[in-house]
Amino acid sequence: MRIDITIDKEFKKDLSVPWLRGVARQILVAQCAESSSEMGIYITGQERIRELNRIYRHKDHPTDVLSFSFFVREAAADATTHPDFPVQIDGGINLGEVVISLPQAQLQAAEFGHPLKKELGRLLIHGIMHLLGFDHEKESDAEIMEDRELQILKELEPSLS
């Protein structure tokens, strides 16, 4: 699995790239993602995530996590590609990118009374679930997604304290 991580300059000292990559890898493995899966993680601030939220979701406010999925449900007309998994590109399966606002994660960690690592893990789980095609638009889908997120969070607990 290839996991590319970009951290805005002002936050580089606050985070460990190997830790982020390891947590993302554990999430992908927990969801049985293909070993050739690729994804990106981008850690940024409130202004940049607000801009992305405004441009792509038409919501002019900061948020905690955004997912830009390459997931395509009707990916292929032939029988060689599974119709419910992202299309292979250059030998790898590019799932997309998860964008997290570190300042928002810090605020939420304080609000929920748990460590920043746990909040980052929670946001990564949520973002990666979106990359893999999960959503929470319908209540029934939200329940499925939330249940699985909680299971993965429990599995990752040792890495998040």
4, 13, 135 from 145: Cα distances, Å: 24, 32, 7
Identify whether the C-beta of residue 81 lies closer than 8 Å to the C-beta of residue 107: no
Question: Would the annotation count 130 as a binding residue?
Answer: yes
Residue type, 49: I
Distance in angstroms (rounded) separating the CA atoms of residues 39 and 96: 5
Distance in angstroms (rounded) separating the CA atoms of residues 55 and 72: 21
Question: Would the annotation count 82 as a binding residue?
Answer: no
Which residues contribute to the annotated binding site for Zn(2+)?
Answer: 126, 130, 136
Binding residues: 126, 130, 136
